[in-house]
């Protein structure tokens, strides 16, 4: 099945934690004006409820994710 390029860069929430290279979890991502569920693989185990970023698509509704805290404010508190 073809890669889902639209999923790359999307933020999501793990509904089932990942087990690192031992097995996938499940992620609900915001995509195409709604939400869709994908199998989620990660290099290290991530817990259910973790916010993740999709970094690659393996096709067949399967993606690679990393833990994600969202965009960081690099301007600091003193910015005008």
Q: Which domains does the chain have, with CATH numbers?
A: 5-67 (2.40.50.140)
With tokens 């600091």, the residue in question is 76
What's the confidence (pLDDT) of residue 60? 87
Residue 6 scores a pLDDT above 50: yes
Spatial CB neighbours of 76, under 8 Å, sequence gap ≥ 6: none
Provide the whole-model pTM.
0.84
Confidence of residue 2 (pLDDT cuts 50, 70, 90): confident
**What are the φ/ψ torsions at residue 68 (nearest 5 degrees)?**
-140, 130
pLDDT tens track for 34-64: 999 999 999 999 999 999 999 999 998 999 9
Q: Which of 9, 43, 46 is nearest to 29 (CA)?
A: 9
* CA neighbours closer than 13 Å in the CB half-sphere of residue 57: 16
Residue 60: CB atoms within 10 Å: 11
What's the confidence (pLDDT) of residue 80? 46
User: Could you give the CA distance from residue 30 to residue 64 in angstroms, rounded to a whole number?
Assistant: 15
């Amino acid at each position: 099945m073809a890669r889902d390029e639209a999923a790359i860069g999307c933020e999501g929430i793990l509904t089932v934690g990942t087990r690192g290279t031992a097995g996938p979890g499940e992620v609900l991502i915001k995509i195409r004006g709604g939400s869709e569920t994908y199998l989620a693989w990660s290099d290290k185990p991530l817990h259910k409820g973790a916010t993740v970023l999709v970094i690659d698509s393996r096709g067949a509704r399967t993606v690679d994710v990393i833990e994600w805290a969202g965009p960081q404010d690099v301007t600091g508190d003193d910015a005008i």
